[in-house]
Structure 1
Amino acid sequence: MGRVRIGSQLLLAGGSLLAIAAPASAQQNQQANDANRVGQSQAEGQQPDQSTIIVTGTRRIDRTVADSPVPVDVISAQSLSNTGFTEVNRALNQEVPSFNFPQPSITDGTDVIRPATLRGLGPDQTLVLLNGKRRHTSSLLNINGSVGRGTSAVDINLIPTVALQRVEVLRDGAAAQYGSDAIAGVINFQLRNSRSGGRASVTYGEYDTHVGGVQGYSGVQTTAAGTPVLAPDGTLALTSTGRDIKRNDGATATLAAVVGLPLGARGQINIAGEYQNRNATHRTGADPRRQYNLLAGGVLDTRELSFNRFSHIYGDPATHDYKLFANYSLPLGEAELYGFSTLNRRRGLSAGFYRLANDARNVPSIYPNGFLPLIGTLTRDYATTLGVRGELAGFRWDLSGQYGRDKVDFTIKNSLNRSFGAASQTQFDSGGLKYSQALFNLDVSRDIALAFTSKTTISAGAEYRRELFDIRPGELASYANGPAGGAPGAQVFPGFQPTIAGQSVADPHKRHNVSAYAEVDSDITKAINVQGALRYEDYSDFGSKLNWKLAGRFEPVSGIALRASASTGFRAPSLQQQFYAAQATNNVNGILLDTVTLPVNNPAALALGAQPLKPERSRALSGGVVFTAVPRLSITVDAYQIKIRDRIVVTENLGAFGTTAQNNAVRALLASAGFPSVTAARFFINGIDTRTRGLDVVATYRAPGTYLGGRINLTGGLNLNKTRITRNNASLGALATIPGLVLFGRQESLRIEQGQPRSKLNGSLDYDAGRLGGTIRATRYGKVLGAGSEPFLDVPLSAKTITDLEVRFKPFGGDRLVLALGGNNIFDVYPDNVPRGRGVDPLTGLARNDPATNYVAPFSNFSPFGFNGRFLYGRLSVNF
């Protein structure tokens, strides 16, 4: 009811403004029409150039890519669609050098809702906009071993490519302009807004690959007496086929369409829909571990000989996506009513590690051969925005309200609760997560004439935002400790409990904030531009912040310009980081430990020294050169430094992985506070400071005339990036009394410092000869360190180059019908294998015995291009 009342007040306020709007809005309507024409030309295949007007990073209405004081990349929808991947994140990973999209596996919900990063920072340190409006984040907290651990980010893959007109990527801090999260930059997805025409496409593809370094096997080696032959690391010796296994899987079918229709004489509505069905990929290796107990005399159970040792699912999960987007605008007198709505539904099915038949967590009467527990993820997401804009007495104004909600529910299949023994059920409702955001904006800007400037635009605005995060507990059997003993809860994903360490987790958590900003964008002369912004934010849970930004551009010679910026920024701690709570029982060296993730206000967390989370604070500097002196050639070079204080991270599992003395000391603190059943805990802290330095180079060239009967466009980009932790919070409350205790350890530190590529280089060539066209693209991903818990478990990943090729044919000329055939990663490149078995560490030269699970997970989750191999596809597109 509260939202209805607020929405009614918004519409009444908008109606009042409409009633007094002056006819001076003709200029703005013309500019909107111009923007529509730009979007339509790009949808027909014309790529953005330096004269493209941008709307991200400025509130000027005539700012182009070339004269922006900060770097902005513009990617057309056509460019995003010239690939076999229909997920936006994968397409952007090919287009933007500073964009990183690893594709982890066996990381629970993160398998299905995968985060992306910009400039080597966290997924939640990039602000995502849709039509210039803040997009709500996913309710999921990435809590497992992936890049972006401990973050909640926008689920970009919910946006269908077919709905887009273009994407603008601002590679600069912009918190003073847009508020929280815009530390690394801003990605603005602009929806198609044409009054006519449309596009429909059918894409089908699948992986055709030989899995690098993962060989097949023909059997288990035994002696004549039937006892097993062991490999040097103690696992069963398998007879290898000597050939990498071949996989044809991951079949993906995508149906997508968008249509633009007129609304009245000047309005429009664009409706876009997409359905995607993706099958799982299997990149697991053969599991050489003994699955069954030995028989009398140490003889191997004969079931070992017939057991299918490719028992895991390691790769992409199976997903079904439904996406429906609408974008509309309608002139009302001299103003304009506009809005856009999105509706998404995604089902995903991923897996954990296989529970062996002889595993203590198994109940043989239910699963005599062991079992592979599955995590079913259901995401339901919707959002709507409604606004009015116009011009009054020379002031352009925009009043809008929006609401978005993301809900993720978990169903655990093919599992059991060991503590109930043979009476356990095998499917569980493990509960779910919900996040919502309501937001109201008023933006006003005006061009003013100042005697000492060529042109000046002043802008101001205010915003109100309300957020809510809620945890829905699972059914009793999904988390309960039954009478049979052993590990309680549904295997692989125990249900969310109603209470953890005496605190209810089911209470909804809310906060709100209000903000106001002012911005000036002034052309002092035709050669000098200066931009400045101030933004004040006041949050109900941690207080207020004031941020500023200064940027400038100087073009001493036509076609050669210098630009620079300096800014402060911040990221508010998410409600998920403040209030997420979960409990699981982990097997650590044969001992079952009750491990909990605690909210910072939980009594057990407070006993260990947890404190209210503060916002992350940043200071950013950038400087660069823009070269456009040669016709049809553009080169930009930008260096940057981003320092972040009080970054929010999750602690180690305190009480589980320290020394015996340290673990006992942690448990003693918990017991003295009244929580003797909690044996290990972790929570979020403002734990580290970091410094990120990097360089971005982007070049485009449109060849004049024709070559081989067609037009050629060349693009290239380079990102160099290095992050260092400059401070690590080594002491916290009562934990500071425990000698040598590590709050944020080596593994997590290396995840931040070296878990993303130090360099990324991409280049592409687009060819268009009328009926025949094509795209060839190559991306070189620099080295990555997949960090283990100890130095000898580190997995260095060397640089790899991925090549994509697409050929397009237009049988009738024009763009009416387009047939495309192509391949992503056509040379079937894989990341380096995770070391397996008994060997020598490549870094230290010491002997090492790698975990047996490395056989079944032969590639690192840190690979920046995943580990699926060659993808072949075909696409049929109809433009109308």
Structure 2
Amino acid sequence: MKNTDLKVWLAASASSVMLATMLSAGTAYAQDSSDDTVTQDEIITIGTRRTQRSAADTPAPVDVISGIEFTRNAADDVQDLLRTSVPSFNINTQPISDAASIVRPANLRGLSPDQTLVLINGKRRHRGSVISFLGGGISDGAQGADISAIPSIALKQVEVLRDGASSQYGSDAIAGVLNFVLKDSAEGGSFEAKYGTTYDGDGDTYRFSGNIGLPLGDQGFVNVSAEYGDTNGTVRSVNRNDVTELVGLGLVTNDYSRINTYTDSVPQYWGQPDVEDDLKLFYNSALELSDNAEIYSFGSYASRTVTGGFFYRTPYANSFGGARGGVYAGPTINGNPSVLVGDLDGLGVGGACPAGIEMVNQLPDPTVLAQVQADPNCFSFIETIPNGFTPRFGGDNTDYSFAVGLRGDVSIGDGLAYDLSMTHGRNKTEFFINNTINASLGPNTPRDFRPGGQQQTETVLNADFAYLLPTGMASDLSIAFGAEYRKEEFELFQGDPASFALGPLADQGFSSSSNGFGGFANASVASQDSYGVYTELEADVTDRLTVQGAIRYEDYSAFGDTFNYKLAGLFKVTDSFRIRGSHSTGFHAPTAGQANITNVTTQNVGGVLIDQGTLPLSSAAGQLAATFIENRDGTRPALATEDATIFTLGAAFDLGPTSWTVDSYQIDVDDRIALGANIDFLQVLESLNTSATAFTSVNDGLTQLSAANVINRSEFIGLDDLSQFRFFANSFDTRTRGIDVVGRMPFAFLNGNSELTLAANYNETEVTRRAAAGQIQRIDDGRVASLEDLLPNWKGFAQWTHTQGRLRTLVRANYFGQWDDTGNGVNDISSEILVDAEVGYNVTKAVELVVGASNIFDNYPDENPGQGGTGQLYPEAAPTGFSGGQYYGKIRITF
């Protein structure tokens, strides 16, 4: 499909619709008088601003997932629940992914998390504070909303608009829109308790949740939901080859509890992170002020602590080709690697220390080692941390939101409906990294650090209006119009001083900052705002034809303006067959965080740990690099909006007792925002070097350039061990094509009611353009491979539900197609089918007992063939996850 042009794609789509037309035509008349005709009468609030609109009658496809469906699953996180309910939605386990472990990035239709708009009760949800620097290639650099802060028990339904909608809702609505509709009952409630664990006996999960509806006077309600729980981590690791060698030589103990603080089975762990004290609170309320006015409000608070793994740091560094981490490796001695030795009173002061402990026959030179141990002025980390260490990284995340509004109508003609609202939200992450070091502080280094944090704050003001104008058509013309103001702010919090300190051993080659995740040296605040206006028209031109059009103009303080439009239509061929399609444009504006973030992280590159950074173009290092690159190719990077063009074509029809929707789509996104190519920091510094001697390291280069007054050393704090860095830029174009198929069939079975549901998605993305070699915006081949191949092209599920008396059952088979991890040298990873099952029994009308299992056959993805080099038993990006089977039990009480 990658080489198929638009004409062929449209022809194939039209052929599918024509085939469906012929199949439907043979059954339409027989169904006209049948009571078994399947109808889709779910009332929706997205994709159209006409009131009381059903999902079956919209020009764009909208899936409606009831809140009760979310309770029938082993998972608790709303993102994991969506993974088994929406075939084009993907979410992965994030074991060693820095901040992406705390707010996991999700993908709709294979696009980035921030290319999907998230709404709560139709109002824009604020973004999370985390920018996913390690997002598996697909989500690298994305800053999306934190969906996991929503408790599933609070949901009345979830509406998934599978179409572009930037002209209706603004930035981000390229892949689609997720609208989470909160419960609005004024009475009754439910309580649920759940416990689950994996077949391997780890990953224990418990969850308590409740919901209650209360009246607010005679004409209002308050609906409150709460959830609290913990999820223990899992370990799916093997020993790395270098660890096996070190243990065999007696240089490292096989009592791995001395290396990390989490497990004694392996020195480094890949698996599900720990999620502790996971608290979620939501409320939804409204109160009628008169027959024509209602005030409403909803809001939330959530907090959790997430802790995951990092790479193991070996104590003998490059001696066995293992991970370096910029901590221990000393100069080459007699052609052999060595372990770095520090002179505590400073170079040239007092007695001299060896530059390093030479490794002879893979063992440290015993004579030099004894000399270092005997001299209190000489120091090596193999004295204090002889077995190495594995950092434990995580963050405390808090999230809150608040919305208030006034809606109603005024007597102008047939009535002008209005909705005036304000929403405010904030997401904050405070990082911690334990069991690590700031090597430049030598023996005085702390082992635990607080590297700082990030915070995203957004405020949105909306004024929305709708009016029905009689025109003589089959329906009144719905005229909607409105305006929006949005302000966002991204804040970096300074870390504790030791997390970014340039210690006394820094000029001797010891790395500064907390190893693995350096602290933020400076606090900063960046903000931007935007203004938008829109109008939307929709009408039933005839009894069979519905037409919709929308336009939107938006102006950003930092990135200029954009104009977007949408044209869509629905044609009822028969009462049971409908054709629909749309053409729209869309956009995604860079966030204030993407434009201003500073981040340094440690990556495994070719078996060696190196520090890579993301810096603002406006930073001192950024300006040096921009000048360096400009001198080479005459260009400078830029950061502007992404622009999209979206086509959809589909059909909804009934075949006998079954109901089907088939929708194809093409999404072209130009100038996608991405982290560009890594720039060699030492090479940039060397371009400023006027001395005859080359710099031996970044630290050496910064020191010498500062002494020569070429740079201000204080502007580069925390960057002295940085090997590579990069910027956000508009780097490449993509084309995404796919087809969604959803079918449902209710039927009677064994004196009960059953329903079969089939849902499938085919999705393929092609990178159609990227910056030329040598340009700062260029993405590498590994990133291209991830964008095109890391997610399976085919994904879907088949589900059977049955209710009979007090008993209900569910069986679901989830299919994940073949995929490639080309960036890590692994292709043709096998497809998988994971089967879930659940049985519920009503002991009384109010009490239900539930038992179930997820992945009941305990399937795992193909093992990672490079596991000896990484310690990673299964591919990290596996769409199925890699925790294996899980079983669980619940008790649910309704009142």
Range of TM-score over shorter length: 0.7 to 0.9
Q: Which residue of 2 aligns with 1:830?
A: 860
Counterpart of 1:344 in structure 2 is 302
Task: Tell me if the contact between 2:808 and 2:839 (Cα under 8 Å) persists in the aligned partners.
Answer: yes
Once the 2 structures are TM-superposed, how far is the Cα of residue 448 of structure 1 from its aligned partner? 1.6
Q: Which moved more, 1:304-313 or 1:585-594?
A: 585-594
Which residue number in structure 2 is paired with residue 803 of structure 1?
835
1:273 aligns with 2:226: yes
Question: How far apart are residue 583 of structure 1 and its match?
Answer: 3.2
Q: 2:215 aligned with 1:189, yes or no? A: no
- After TM superposition, the score normalised by the length of structure 1 is 0.82
Q: Which residue of 1 aligns with 2:599?
A: 582
Task: Give the whole-Å Cα distance in 2 for the aligned partners of 1:622 and 1:746.
Answer: 30
Give the whole-Å Cα distance in 1 for the aligned partners of 2:176 and 2:686. 44
Residues 716 and 589 (structure 1), Cα distance of their counterparts in 2 relative to 1, 3 Å cut: closer
Q: Would you say 1:759 and 2:715 are equivalent positions? A: no
1:284 aligns with 2:237: yes
Contact 2:168–2:551 at 8 Å: present in 1 too?
yes
What is the match of residue 518 of structure 2? 494
Cα distance in structure 1, aligned partners of 2:168 and 2:249 = 67
CA distance in 1, matches of 2:134, 2:682: 16
C-alpha contact (below 8 Å) 1:560/1:625 kept by paired residues: yes
C-alpha distance in 2, partners of 1:669/1:568? 48
For 2:672 and 2:859, how far apart are their aligned partners in 1? 35
Give 5+ residue unaligned stretches, structure 2. 1-37, 257-263, 318-323, 329-380, 631-635, 689-693, 714-719
CA contact (8 A) 1:167 1:190 kept: yes
Match in the other structure for 1:324: 281
Counterpart amino acid of residue 689 in structure 1: D
Spell out, residue by residue over 1:427-463, the C-alpha distance to the aligned partner (whole angstroms, 9 max, x if none). Answer: 1110000110001001100122102343321100100
Distance in 1 of aligned mates of 2:711 and 2:547 = 59
| 1:119 matches 2:109 | yes
For the structure 1 residues 584 and 120, does the alpha-carbon distance in structure 2 shift closer, same or farther, using more than 3 Å as the test?
closer
TM-score (norm 2): 0.81
The equivalent of 1:149 in structure 2 is 140
Distance between the aligned counterparts of 1:567 and 1:657, measured in 2? 46
Looking at structure 2, the residues matched to 253 and 528 of structure 1 have their Cα atoms a distance apart, in angstroms, of: 51
Pair 1:588–1:534, CA change in 2 (3 A): closer
Q: CA deviation at 1:658?
A: 11
Superposition pairs of residues 646-657 of structure 1, within 5 angstroms: 646-655=671-680
Match of 1:39 in 2: none
> 1:103 deviation in Å?
1.4
Task: Quote the Cα distance in structure 2 between the aligned partners of 1:101 and 1:657.
Answer: 37
Q: In the alignment, which residue of structure 2 is the partner of 1:600?
A: 617
Query: Where does residue 426 of structure 1 map in the other structure?
Result: 447
| 3-state SS, counterpart of residue 242 of structure 2 | coil
**What is aligned with 2:60?**
70
Q: Which amino acid aligns with 2:863?
A: N
1:378-420 Cα shifts (integer Å, max 9, x gaps):
0011010000101102011000001100110011111111111
What pairs with 1:243-262 in structure 2 (closer than 5 Å)? 247-262=200-215
Paired AA for residue 619 in structure 1: T
Provide the residue aligned with 2:653 in structure 1: 627
CA deviation string 1:346-398 (max 9, x = no partner)? 11111201222334636334433222211131001101000010110201100
Cα distance, 1:683 vs. partner?
0.6
Partner SS for 1:89: helix
**Counterpart amino acid of residue 520 in structure 2:** F
Deviations 1:183-202, CA, capped at 9 Å, x for gaps: 00000000000010011100
Report what 2:731 is aligned to.
687
Query: Residues 804 and 586 (structure 1 numbering): CA distance in 2 closer, same or farther, change over 3 Å?
Result: closer
CA deviation string 1:601-659 (max 9, x = no partner):
2343232455331100000000011103634x210001100001000110232217999
Distance 1:563 1:345, change over 3 A: same
Kindly report which structure 2 residues correspond to 1:492-641, keeping only aligned pairs within 5 A, or say none: 492-498=516-522, 506-583=523-600, 595-605=612-622, 606-607=626-627, 608-609=629-630, 610-628=636-654, 630-631=656-657, 633-641=658-666
Bigger drift between 106-115 and 261-270 goes to 106-115
Instruction: Give 3-state SS (helix, strand or coil) of 2:95's partner.
Output: coil
Q: Which residue of 1 aligns with 2:11?
A: none
Distance 1:198-1:309 versus aligned 2 partners, 3 A rule: closer
> How far did 1:770 drift?
1.7
Residue 399 (1) aligns with residue 420 (2)? yes
Structure 1 unaligned blocks of 5 or more: 1-47, 209-246, 499-505, 837-850
What is the CA-CA distance between 1:591 and the residue it aligns to?
8.7
Indicate conservation of the 8 Å contact 1:250/1:278, yes or no: yes
CA distance in 2, matches of 1:586, 1:278: 27
Rounded Cα–Cα distance in structure 1 between residues aligned with 2:98 and 2:650: 41
Letter in 2 for 1:313: Y
Give the drift of 1:422: 1.3
In structure 2, what is the equivalent of residue 718 of structure 1? 760
Aligned residues: 754
- Verify the 8 A CA contact 1:291 1:304 in the aligned structure 2: no
**Structure 1 equivalent of residue 47 of structure 2:** 57
Any conservation in 1 of the 2:102–2:397 contact (CA below 8 Å)?
no
Match of 2:820 in 1: 785
Which residue of the partner structure matches residue 221 of structure 1? Answer: none
Question: What CA distance in whole angstroms lies between the structure 2 residues aligned with 1:171 and 1:669?
Answer: 52
Q: For the Cα contact (< 8 Å) 1:204–1:874, is it kept in 2? A: yes
1:86 and 2:76 correspond? yes
1:459–1:303 CA distance, 2 compared to 1 (3 A): closer
Task: Establish whether residue 448 from structure 1 lines up as the match of residue 469 from structure 2.
Answer: yes
Q: What residue is the counterpart of 1:162 in the other structure? A: 153
CA–CA separation in structure 1 for the residues paired with 2:441 and 2:501: 9
Relative to structure 2, which stretch is displaced further, 329-338 or 254-263? 329-338
Instruction: Indicate conservation of the 8 Å contact 2:120/2:180, yes or no.
Output: yes
- For residues 230-249 of structure 1, what are the structure 2 equivalents within 5 Å? 247-249=200-202
Q: 1:724 to 1:659 in 2, by over 3 A?
A: farther
Matching residue of 2:503:
482
The 3 A distance-change label for structure 1 pair 661 and 802 is farther
* Structure 2 residue matching 1:750: 3-state secondary structure: helix
Q: Relative to 1, partners in 2 of residues 1:757 and 1:587: Cα closer, same or farther, differing over 3 Å?
A: closer
- State the partner residue of 1:378: 396
Q: Give me the whole-angstrom Cα distance separating, in 1, the residues matched to 2:159 and 2:266.
A: 43
CA deviations on 1:123-154 (whole Å, 9 max, x unpaired) are 11000000000000101010025241110111
Counterpart CA distance in 1 for 2:684 and 2:835 is 47
Structure 1 counterpart of 2:716 = none
Secondary structure at 2:57's aligned position in 1?
coil
Could you tell me how far apart the structure 2 residues matched to 1:585 and 1:763 are?
41
How many angstroms does 1:558 deviate by? 1.6
State the alpha-carbon separation in 2 of the partners of residues 787 and 462 from structure 1: 45
Distance 1:533 1:170 in 2: 16
Name the structure 1 match of 2:196: 205
Q: Give, in angstroms, the shift of residue 542 of structure 1.
A: 1.1
Report the equivalent of 2:487. 466
- 1:302 is displaced (CA, Å) by 7.4
Please tell me whether the aligned partners of residues 79 and 148 of structure 2 are also in contact (alpha carbons under 8 angstroms): yes
Report if aligned partners of 2:729, 2:777 keep a CA contact under 8 Å in 1: no
State the shift of 1:594 in Å.
5.9
What's the counterpart of residue 240 of structure 1? Answer: none
Q: Percentage identity across aligned positions?
A: 36
State the Cα deviation string for residues 511-549 of structure 1 (Å, max 9, x = none).
Answer: 110100000011011110000000010111111111000
Report if aligned partners of 2:237, 2:268 keep a CA contact under 8 Å in 1. yes
SS across alignment from 1:396: strand
Q: One-letter code of the match for 2:878?
A: S
Which secondary structure state, in structure 2, belongs to the residue aligned with residue 749 of structure 1?
helix
* Counterpart residue number, 1:20: none
SS at match of 1:114: coil
